[in-house]
Structure 1
Amino acid sequence: MTQTLRLGRVAGIPVGVHWSVLVIMALLVQGLATAVLPTSAPGRPNWVYWATAVGAAVLFLLSLLAHELAHALVARYYGIRVQRVTLWLLGGVAELTDEAPHARADLFVAGAGPLTSVVAAAAFGGGVVAAAVLGAPAVLTAALVWLALINAILAVFNLLPGAPLDGGRVLRAILWRIRGDREQANLVATRAGHVIGLLLILAGMAEVLSTGQLRGLWLGIVGWFLMSAATAEQANARYRALLGKLPVRDVMNPYPLSGNPDQSVDDFTRTVASRAHHRAFPLRDWYGRPAGMVRLADVARVPIEARPSTRLGEVATRPDLVPVVAAARPAAEIAPVVARSDLVLVVEDDLLVGVVSQADIARAAELARQP
């Protein structure tokens, strides 16, 4: 997911927010300031409710960030590369470049997020007790109660047993460990995700029809997202079944147009980007090794007057954040990675020999269906 605003790095992991976070931020602040806080602590000036609501919403977003960073840090512990962590309308996402090496890693990466939310709920609950003992203002206590409850709800919701929720990943890891078949375990988890998504949509419709209010639309949106994400994961599973042991070298584009990190943005735009209908390009150094990836969006952010003096490597995605696979690796194994990335770089003897895009995977799958 594209980051509208990059906040920096945490333990070397790029952290940012999508513009849609403003929507959830506005909804949270408005609901807290006009309903939750006045009901729990009546009689305060409006500015107190609004100021407290903003603080509580910021703390909630930070707890969401902690949830996603927990996934990312545990993933790195198991050697899974993390591309970035992004907060957006429906929460957050830790974008992992690689698949879990085994069921144990899959389980711990999935469980780290909900566990962090439980810890956050307990911490805010402790804050409620401390506020009561110290005689803190009732509006502050109400905000802490809300933060404890919302983090507990987040943990429980994420543990529902259907992909792409964390509970679906946990279910997949358990079935993978028991049956020894990752693909079958993933299929069960994505089917469960479809069911949960459909139930949420139906529940949202029922709430709208029974109450005449639009709050149920939120449940419907969440359910639609779950069903869409589960469908995408099922598609990846089908790719893996179709492609079998076909190596990446038989799927990749072996002649990709590429840039050099020392090249100016202006020169790259004129000599490379303008000659191809691509939105992302690999970079290779003078020795032919992969040196990152640059997107047209990265180039577009550089002011025109600064492009002759700006090196491509300054705006490109760093090499350690770009998915890189061996040419001999089965293409089926990288289908989920390709689905999450614009490009996957292919190497042989440490040299860049090609790239794989979603179109390349789709074409290979279509050919595999031919008799």
Structure 2
Amino acid sequence: MKAGWRVGSIFGIPLFLDPSWFLILIFVTLLYRSMLGPYNVTNELEWGLGFAMALLLFASVLMHELGHSLVALSQGITVHSITLFLFGGIASIESESKTPGQAFQVAIAGPAVSLILCLGLTLVHHISVLGEPANFMIGRLAFINLVLAIFNMMPGLPLDGGQVLKAAIWKATGNRIQGVRWSARAGEVLGWGAIALGVALYVRTFELAFIWLAIIGWFGVQNAKTYRRVADIQDVLLYLQASDVMRREFRVVDATLSVTEFIQQYLSVSHADILFFAASNGRYRGQIDLDTVKTLDRSQWDDVSLAALAVPLTRIPSVRETTALPQVIYRLDEEQVGQITVLSPADTVAGVIDRSDILQQVAQALNLSIPSEIVQNVRETQEYPTSLQLSLLAKAVLSDVKEHHQVSG
């Protein structure tokens, strides 16, 4: 999450405020202003202290997220941003930890910070000589941090307790994706439970606070479903190979043809996105670079053969039919190309793959319907839909495979 306004950075991590943050800022200000009535302070001071309490609450949330972020940074993981929004805060961390133990450390860091803040503020509350209402605010802030720690340790994604549960399942099964899936299911159960409880209590009491509980439950359910979909996508990536995704939309042409003959026989009737490969005497000579053909001086068209222009297969981005799909995705990104060639065990061209092919195959495996306009847009732009994050998920799968091989080795 990086929507909203950037308001600075802390430890090099950009800090953003989502528009929804201002709604909860106003609500919390009003809430704590109303609690200061018994302390006989002026109206202006009530507003000022209520606003200060709201800012301190979000400072606590920021410290919580910093706990996660700093531990992730210590593990060499990039933290893109921290965003404060309607339901609290979220740290945008680029990738998973490499081991269950490290994942546990990142997950537990946030609640640990909240608990430390609670203990420190409680100590200040008991020894404070500031008087009221300052002492009241310190005590209330200590309680808020305690609630923040306890609530976040509930065992279901997207909460920190869900991340802890994921790490535990990952450790027990050796399968991170399995950990994500079961933690997400636990998060859905918790979310639906919060919705049911919130609605039931509201019907009995008509207290608006219980509607807020139901809204938080709905937010939890949606995020847990997102985590489960991520696990499903990674499972698909883990078992698909290049041969499952490639298409055979390419042409093999005679390498002895002149450029003139090639243009007349093929370019006038073929689609621009079809790849051409030159072959002669039963051997592939290489891929025909159409840009090179178009820039060749017309006076040379009759004299230059395709064999002279062909780029050898050893010099073009390629993968094998048995290459795992995450590796294909990684190679497309690493080589910064729109298409990659798939080679057979005999070093002949078996097919080609671009990002739209990957999108369609993954969607088919997940029984998702992708509109043809989106597929066409991916084919033209060579950028995946942001909602799927296929590049990041492929990196996570490759990291899992690498870690598994290191452990088993």
TM over 0.5: yes
Change (3 A) 1:142 1:249: farther
Q: State the shift of 1:183 in Å.
A: 1.8
Structure 2: which amino acid aligns with 1:208?
Y
Alpha-carbon distance between aligned partners in 2 of 1:165 and 1:203, rounded to the nearest angstrom: 18
The amino acid that maps onto 2:61 is L
Look up the SS of the partner of 1:8 in the other structure. strand
**CA–CA distance in structure 2, aligned partners of residues 73 and 361 of structure 1:** 35
Report whether the alignment pairs 1:241 with 2:229: no
Distance 1:244 1:214, change over 3 A: same
Q: Which residue of 2 aligns with 1:90?
A: 87
Match status 1:146 vs 2:143: no
Deviation track 1:252-288 (CA, whole Å, cap 9, x = no partner) reads 9xxxxxxxxxxxxxxxxxxxxxxxxxxxxxxxxxxxx
The amino acid of 1:154's aligned partner reads L
Partner of 1:232: 226
Equivalent residue runs for 1:30-179 within 5 Å: 30-34=30-34, 36-38=35-37, 41-131=38-128, 134=129, 136-179=130-173
Report the Cα offset of residue 82 of structure 1: 1.3
Counterpart-to-counterpart distance in 1, 2:355 and 2:220:
21
Superposition deviation, residue 247 in structure 1: 6.5
Partner of 2:13: 13
Partner of 1:353: 337
8 A contact 2:13–2:80 mirrored in 1 = yes
Q: CA deviation at 1:365?
A: 1.4
Distance 1:248 1:123 in 2: 56
Give me the TM-score of the superposition, normalised by structure 1. Answer: 0.68
Measured after TM superposition, the shift of residue 48 of structure 1 is: 2.3
Q: CA 1:248/1:130 → structure 2, altered by over 3 Å: closer, same or farther? A: farther
CA distance in 1, matches of 2:27, 2:101: 38
Gaps of 5+ in 2: 247-318, 340-353, 368-409
Point out which structure has higher relative CO (alpha carbons under 8 A, 6+ apart): 1
CA positional deviation for 1:2: 3.2
Instruction: Give the CA deviation at 1:361.
Output: 6.2
Number of matched residues?
280
State the 1:90 CA deviation: 0.2
Q: CA deviation digits over 1:9-30, x for unaligned, max 9?
A: 2222111110111111111111
Letter aligned with residue 336 of structure 2: L
Q: Give distance in 2, aligned partners of 1:91 and 1:32.
A: 17
Alpha carbons of structure 1 residues 9 and 43: separation in structure 2 relative to 1, 3 Å: closer
Q: Which deviates the most, 357-366 or 89-98?
A: 357-366
SS at match of 1:353: coil
Displacement of 1:78 in angstroms is: 1.3
Q: Does 1:208 align with 2:202?
A: yes
Per the alignment, residue 28 of structure 1 pairs with 28
More displaced, 236-245 or 143-152?
Answer: 236-245
* Per-residue CA distance 1:46-91 (angstroms, 9 max, x = gap): 2222211111111111111111111111111112221111010000
SS at match of 2:337: strand
> How far did 1:185 drift?
1.6
Deviation at 1:212, TM superposition (A): 1.8
Which deviates more from structure 2 when the two are superposed, residues 152-161 or residues 236-245? Answer: 236-245
Compute the displacement of 1:44 (Å). 2.5
Aligned residue type for 2:148: L
Whole-Å separation in 2 of the counterparts to 1:44 and 1:144: 17
Partner AA of 2:183 in structure 1? A
Q: Could you say what secondary structure the match of 2:39 adopts? A: coil
Corresponding residue number in structure 2 for 1:3: 3
Displacement after TM superposition at 1:103 (Å)? 0.5
Deviation at 1:172, TM superposition (A): 0.7
3-state SS of the aligned residue for 1:101? coil
Deviation of 1:37 (Å): 2.6
- Residues in 2 aligned to 1:106 and 1:333: alpha-carbon distance in whole angstroms: 24
Contact kept, 8 Å, 1:37 with 1:143, in 2: the verdict is no
For the residues of structure 1 that align with 2:10 and 2:30, how far apart are their CA atoms? 30
Bigger Rg over Cα: 2
Secondary structure of 2:84's counterpart equals strand
Unaligned runs of 5+ in 1: 253-326, 336-343
Moved more, 231-240 or 48-57: 48-57
Confirm or deny: 8 A CA contact 2:154 2:162 kept in the other structure: yes
Using a 3 Å threshold, how does the CA distance of structure 1 residues 203 and 332 change in structure 2: closer, same or farther? Answer: farther
C-alpha distance 128-232 of structure 1, shift in aligned 2 (>3 A):
same
Contact 1:111/1:170 (CA < 8 Å) preserved in 2? yes
1:215–1:244 Cα change, 3 Å: same
- Contact kept? 1:33, 1:50, Cα under 8 Å: yes
1:121 is displaced (CA, Å) by: 1.2
The residue type equivalent to 2:23 in the other structure is V
Contact preservation (8 Å) 2:6, 2:14:
yes
SS of structure 1 residue aligned to 2:139: helix
Give 1:124 shift.
Answer: 1.7
Give the distance between the partners of 2:42 and 2:141, measured in 1 at CA. Answer: 21
**Are the counterparts in 2 of residues 29 and 57 from structure 1 also a CA contact under 8 Å?**
yes
> 1:359, CA displacement in angstroms?
7.8
User: Percent sequence identity over matched residues?
Assistant: 32
Q: Say whether the 8 Å CA contact 1:240–1:333 is kept in structure 2.
A: no
C-alpha displacement at 1:352, in angstroms? Answer: 2.7
Contact 1:241 1:332 in 2 (8 A): no
Distance 1:361 1:144, change over 3 A: farther
The two structures have a TM-score, normalised by structure 2, of 0.62
Q: Which amino acid aligns with 2:36?
A: L
